[in-house]
A and B are shown apart, each in its own frame.
Chain A
Amino acid sequence: MRKIYLLGFCCLFFLQMALAQQSAVKLISANLQQATIAQFVSDIESKSSYHFFYDVTQFDSLKITLQVVDKPIETVLDMAFKNTGFNYSIADNAVFLTKGRALRADLAVGYTTITSAQPAQTNTVVDYTDDKDKKVPDATTENKLYEIGTRTNSIKEGKALLSGYIRNIKSGEAVVGASIYVASTKTGVASDAFGYFTLSLPRGRHTLNIRGLGMKDTRRQIILYSDGKLNIELQEQVNSLKEVKISADKVANVRSVELGVTRMDIKNIKQIPTAFGEADVLKVVLTLPGVTSVGEATTGFNVRGGAADENLILLDGSTIYNPAHFFGFFAAFNPDIVKDIELYKSSIPEKFGGRLSSVLDITNREGNKKIFTGSAGIGLLTSRLNVEGPIIKNKTSFIFGGRTTYSDWLLHLLPEAYKHSSASFYDLNLDITHQINDKNNLYLSSYLSKDKFKLNSDTAYSYSNKSLILKWKHNFNNKLYSVISGGTDNYQYDINSTDNPINAFDLAFHINQSTFKTDFTYYVSNKHTLSFGVNSILYHIDPGTFEPDGVKSLVLPQVVAREQALESAIYLGDKYDITPELTISAGIRYNIYNYLGAQTIDRYAPNLPRQPVNVLDSTSYAGGKVINTYAAPDFRISARYILNDNLSVKAGYNTLHQYIHLLSNSTSISPTDIYKLSDPNIKPEHGDQISLGFFKNAAANTIEMSVEVYYKRLRDYLDYRSGAVLLLNQHIEQDVINTQGKAYGAEFLIKKTAGKLNGWISYTYSRTFLRQDDPNAGEFINEGKYYPANYDKPNSFNFTGNYRFTHRYSVSLDIAYSTGRPITLPIAKYDYAGSERVFYSDRNAYRIPDYFRSDFSINIEGNHRVHQLTHNSWSIGVYNLTGRQNAYSTFFTEQSGVISGYKLSIFASPIPYINYNIRF
C-alpha cells in the first residue's frame, strides 16, 4: 500500500504536467498471450504516452490475454482487467492500477463546493452507507475523504449522526477517552470506556480532529450524507517520553460539563518518581489538587476532606477493598496492565454510588488483537511480566500480568531482631476481550492480589483481593447501547499465631460482594444524551472468626455473625445541551438498601447512650429476611456555561450515600481494619457537595488553568469511643459514635500539556472539620466542638514537571509541600504505675512540622526503531532528593521510666532507585 501512496504523490507532478500538455486521444493496438503485468505495461507504454503506476506484488498472479486493434486506452484496460478484480483510473497520461478499489483521479466531491451540480461519478467509489450487511470501514488515513451514509448528489439540510469505535491500529484495543473535535461547529465528544463515540453534526464536509491518550493526534475528513458509522484507528505514539499530559482532551478542560474530574494515562504515571521506582497509580493521585493523605506509606487517600474509606476504587468495574501491598508502600495495581485512571472528586456520574467522596476508576488495557507481545520489568524490590496477544486474530485477545516481590533480601540485611522476618506479595491480572460481532462484545477481567508477612514473632499475617467480572456490551443501534455486567469481589485477611500453644489462634475476616449492573446510554438527539440503569450489590461479610489453632489451645471459638445486605440503585441522567454555550447534566440515583438476616439485632432505649444497660430487647431474624431498609435519592447536577472559546464556568451539586463503613481507629488504614454494613443501629453515611469552577485555556490550548471551590458536608461519619474494640466485637454499635463533618476549599491548577517542558502546578487551600456532639454518645470529643480531621492540611502545593531533551532522554521533577497534619499532643505529665506518663490535649489541637519532598528521575528510552526484537528503557531516580526528615508522626513514650518525645520519619534519606523495562 505504501508504494501506492508514494506513487500517488509522485503522480501529482505528472498531473500538473499532463494538464499543460493537452494531449489528444490516442488509439492502441495490442496482442498478448498469458502476459505478465510487466509485459502488458511495457507494451502499452511503448505504444502510447501513458505511464502506468501500480504495486507489482498485487499483480504477480495476473496473466493477461488480449487482442485489440485501435481502441482507446479505456477499452483496452476494460478488456484486460475484466472480471479480475483489478481496477484502473486514468489521469491524463498517468494510469493507476489498483486491486479492489479504484483510485479516484479527479478532485473529491465537495473539494471546491459542496453543492456541486455535476452528476455523480459512476465509477467505483466506495460507498460507506449504513447498510447493515456492510463491514464498517476502518478509517486509517488522514488525507482520504470518507463518505458517511447513503450518498446523495446534493447535501441535504439538517444534522446526521456519526458513530463508531476508536481503536489502536497496532493492537486493535479500544481507545478510551479519545476526543473528537469538529472545529467548524465547535462540537466535540469523547469516546467511552469501550472506545465508542456518537456525534451529531450538520450534514456535509467536516474535518474531525482526534486526540487520544498516548496516541498520535490525527484528523479524518468526512462527508456526512446521512447517519452512519466510521471506525477510526489511531497510531500509537512510539516515543513515550513526549510529554506529561493529564487530560486526553485539550479542549475538555473548558468544554466538558464535569468539574473535578482528572484522567491520566499510565505513560504519565510512569514518569513520576516514586520511592522504589515502581510506577504507582495511587501516588500519582496524591499529586492532584484536593487529594491528601495522612502520610507516606499509607494505604488510604483523602479526597476533599473525605475519609479514606469514602473512595470507591474500581479496577475495570471490580471494587478493590485493599488497594495496596506491603502496608501501603506499593499500589496493588500492575503498571504494565493499567491503561489509565480517572478520578472523580466532584461530578460523580449517576452510574457510580455507594461512597461519599470520590470514585477512582482504573482501566486495564485490552490485549493486543493482532500480535503477541509482552514486557518485563526489573526493580529493586519487584519484578513484573506481562504477555498479551490474540486468541482469535482481530476478535479475541488476552492480556496477562504478574508481579511479585523479592524483598526478603532486604529484610535479611536488618539487625538480628528483624532478620528472620519475611514479607511477600504478588498480583495477577488476566483479562480476555472477545468481539462476538459488530454489535456485541464480551469483556472478562480477573484480578488476584495477595500479601503475606511473618515477623520474628510467630504471628503470620496475610490479606488478599480477588475479583472476577464479565461485561457484555451490546449496541442496539447507533443511538443506544448497553453494558451488562456481573461479578464478584472478595477481600479477606487472616492472622494466626502458634507460639504460645495455650493462646494459639487463627483470626479471619472476609468480605464478598456480588455485583450486577446494567448501564444504558441513549443518544436521543444532538441535545440530549440519556444514561440509565440498575445496579445491585449483595454483600456478605464475616466480620471475624477467632478460632483455636492446635489441640492444646484453650482459645474460645468466637464468631461474629455474618452480615448480609443488598444495596440497589436505579438511576437516570441526562446531558442536555440547551445552547452551544450552556450544557446541563442532571441525574438522580435512587438507592435502596436492605439489611438482611440471619441476624440478631439489639434495640436500644431512645435518647440514651447505646450501652449494654440500655438494651430494650433483642430480636432474631431468619436468613434472608429484610431487617430494615434505608431508601434515599442522590442528586447529581452539573452545568457549564462557555463565556468564550477559552473560558468557561461550571457549577455542580451532588449528594451521596454510603452503606459500608471501614472501622479503623488508627491514623491510617491498617490491614486489620474491618468493614461494617449499615444496620438498624448504624445509619448510612450521607454527604453532599456544592462546587463552582472557572476553566481557561491559553496558548492554543497548551496551557490549562482552573480554579475550583467547594463546600462539603458529611453526616453520620463513624468515630469511636475511647478504647473501642473494633475486632470481634459482637455489639459494635456500642463502640461507635456518629460524627458530623464539613470541608471546604479552593483548588488552583495550571497545566502545560505540550512542548519540551510540561507538567502541572497545583495549590490547594482546604479545611476539614469534624464534630461529635451527639448527647446519646455518652461522651463528647473536644467538648462537642469542631476539630480538624487527621488529614486536614490547609495549604498544599504540588509541582510535577517533565523536561524532554530528546525523544530518548527526559528528566522529571516532583515537588510537594503541605502543612503538617494535626496531632494530639501531650500537655502535662504525671507519675503513674512506676513511670512518668503523659496527659493528652484535646484531639488534634496541634500539628506536626510542615511536609516537603522533592523527587527527581531520569528516563532513558532505548532507540526508537519500531521494528526491533525488544524495546528497552531505564528509569533512574532519587526519591526525597533533599533527604528531609518529614515527620510522619510525633509521639511521647516512656523509656526507662522517663517520658521522651520522638519524631517518626519514613523515607528520611534520599532513596535512589533504578528500574529496567523491556518490551517484546
Chain B
Amino acid sequence: MKTWSVIIWMIILFAGCRKVYNPAPIKTNYNYLVVEGTINNGDTTFINLSRTVTLSGQTRLSPELNAAVTVENDQSTGYTLTETKKGIYFLAGVTLDVNRKYRLRIKTINNQEYLSDFVAVTNSPPIDSISYAIESNGIQVYANTHDPKNNTRYYRWAYNETWQIHSIFDSFFKSNGDTVLFRDLVNDDIYTCWQTDTSSTIILGSSAKLTNDVIYQNPVTFVPSTSVKLVTGYSILVKQYAITGDAYTFWGNLKKNTEQLGSVFDALPTQINGNIHCISNPSLPVIGYINAGSVTTKRILIHNRNLPAWLPPPILYDLSDSCGYVACLYKYVAPGSGITVNQVDQLINYNKGAKYPLIPIDVIKPPGAPAPIGYTAAFPICVDCTLRGTNKMPPYWKY
C-alpha cells in the first residue's frame, strides 16, 4: 500500500522524522549466490552471477567467476554459456521452443551445483507505445501494451535512458603532451556528449484483474523538471518482459522488501523465494528468478522544445559548483620571487611536468600581443564530457 506510506510521511513531516540509521554492522559474510537474467528467446542471453556481500562492506559487487552455466530444456538439450566479463555469462541468440520448458544449471568453482525450476517460455507482446505526461514538476513516462490472446497478464519493464550533456567549458584547444594545439571540433568534440543509465527500480504491471489483457499507462519512470536529463533531449528505451504469475510474486516481494519499506502499514519483510535451488545444499538460500521468453523494446525521444518552461529550469551543469578555470601563462613571474615559470608546461602539457593535467579551454592573447601568452584551463571533469558519457551521437538521436 504505497499510498499509506504517503499519508504517514505526511504526518511524520508534522510530528515525526526519518533519520539515517546504521545498526551495529553485521559481520558475517554469508556469500549467497545471486542469479540474474532471462533465457532470451531469439536474442542474446545474459546471466549475471554474483555473491552477496556484507552490508557495511565497501565492496558493491562480488562476481562469481569461472562457473559452468548451461541452459537445458525438459528434453535435456543443453546450451553452454561462456563468461564474457567478470560474472557475466552469455549465450548467442537461440530460438526457444514454446512447447518446451527450460531451466538453468550452474556449477560453481567451489563445486556447488545449482538448478532452477523448469520455466515455460513466455514471449512478450509488442509494446504498443511509450507515452509521457507533462506534470507540474516533471514528466511521467508510461508503457502501454496489450495481448490480444489475453495470455500474458503479468509484465515487467526495465529501461535504458540516454540524454545529452554538455561540459561546463567549451574547449577549443588540446594538449598533445608537449604543446597546445587547436582541437578537431568535428571528431574530437568534448563539449557535447550523451550519457546513459539503466533502470534501478523494479517496474511491474498486471492486467490479471481486468477483463482484457490491456496495460494502459503503467508508470515506468518520472523525470523531475530540474533534472539535467531534460536540458536538450531525453531518450528512453523500454524493455518489456512477459513473466509468469509466480515470477510476478517474486519481483513484487523483492520490490516490497527493498523499495517500499519504512512506513507504518508496510508489510513485514518476507522471505524471497526464487526459483533457483542449491542441489548440493538444499537449505542454502539462493537469490534470483529465471524466466524464459522474448523481450520486446520500444524507444522514444523527447525534445526539450516540446516541454514547458518549468521554474526552476533544469540544472544545466550539475558540476558548476566545483568548476572554475585558471590562467596558465608561458612566462609567469611569481610576485616578489623574480623567477619565471612556464605554467602551460607545468599544468597542461603532461609530458612536460603536468602531474594532474588540466585541459586548455581558450587562448590568452591580449590586444596587440604578437603571440598567445597562455591558455585558460580547467579540470578535465569540467571540460571533457566523455568522462561521463560518449561523444559519439547515438543513431537514434534524430529529431
Residues of chain A touching chain B, judged by Cβ–Cβ distance below 8 Å, are: 275, 295, 297-298, 327, 329, 410-411, 413-415, 418, 421, 423, 453, 455-457, 459, 461, 500, 502-503, 546, 554-556, 558, 665-668, 670, 672, 722-723, 728, 779, 781, 790, 824-841, 843, 846, 885, 887-894, 896-897, 899-909, 911
Contacts and interface: CB of A to CB of B under 8 A. Distances in A.
Contact of A827 (B22, B28, B36): B28
Contacts of A456: 6
B258 A410 contact: no
Nearest to B283: A783
B259 interface: yes
B311 interface: no
Contact of B15 (A790, A835, A906): A906
B55 A828 contact: yes
A834 B250 CA distance: 16
Given A421-B10, A455-B3, A824-B269, A891 B16 contact: no
Contacts of B18: 902-905
Given A554-B214, A832-B287, A901 B17 contact: no
A668 B23 CA distance: 23
Given A327-B264, A894-B200, A906 B11 contact: yes
Contacts of B271: 722, 779, 781, 840
Contacts of B390: none
B268 interface: yes
Contacts of A670: 1, 4, 264-265
Given A827-B28, A832-B288, A418 B216 contact: no
Contacts of A329: 11
A903 B273 contact: no
Contact of A825 (B26, B202, B265): B26
Nearest to A906: B16
Given A418-B6, A828-B53, A905-B18, A893 B13 contact: no
A500 B216 contact: yes
Contact of A833 (B202, B264, B285): B202
B158 interface: yes
A839 B273 contact: no
Contacts of A503: 210, 216
A339 B128 CA distance: 64
A832 B253 CA distance: 13
B7 A455 contact: yes
A460 to B, nearest CB: 10
Contacts of A839: 30, 32, 52, 272, 285, 287
8 contacts: A668-B265, A838-B257, A840-B272, A841-B26, A889-B264, A892-B261, A894-B259, A906-B16
Given A418-B6, A834-B199, A900 B214 contact: no
A846 B210 contact: no
A558 B270 CA distance: 27
A723 B7 contact: no
Contacts of B4: 670, 672
Contacts of A892: 55, 258, 261
A556 B10 contact: no
Interface in B1-58: 1, 3-4, 6-23, 26, 28-30, 32, 34, 36, 50-55
A309 B249 CA distance: 27
Given A558-B209, A908-B17, A909-B15, 6 more contacts: A275-B15, A327-B264, A461-B3, A722-B271, A832-B34, A894-B200
A825 to B, nearest CB: 6
Contacts, number: 234
A546 B216 CA distance: 19
B217 A502 contact: yes
Given A825-B26, A830-B34, A556 B210 contact: yes
Given A723-B253, A828-B52, A834-B200, A556 B217 contact: no
B80 interface: no
Nearest to A665: B267
B85 interface: no
A15 B10 CA distance: 77
A903 B261 CA distance: 11
B16 A908 contact: yes
A918 to B, nearest CB: 27
A901 B24 CA distance: 11
Contacts of B214: 502, 554
Contacts of B227: none
Given A558-B209, A827-B26, A827-B28, A904 B263 contact: yes
Given A418-B13, A457-B3, A839-B52, A901 B23 contact: yes
Contacts of B20: 900-903
Q: Which of A555, A668, A899, A904 has the most CB of B within 10 A?
A: A904
A907 B12 CA distance: 7
Contacts of A825: 23, 26
A885 B17 contact: yes
A558 B212 CA distance: 14
Q: Which of A421, A728, A902 has the most CB of B within 10 A?
A: A902
Nearest to B55: A829
Contacts of A666: 1, 264-268
Interface string B191-202: 000000011111
Contacts of A418: 6, 9-10, 13
B261 A899 contact: no
Contact of B201 (A297, A665, A894, A902): A894
Contacts of B13: 414-415, 418
A554 B212 contact: yes
B60 interface: yes
A298 B264 contact: yes
Nearest to B271: A722
B61 interface: yes
Contacts of B210: 502-503, 554-556
A835 B263 CA distance: 21
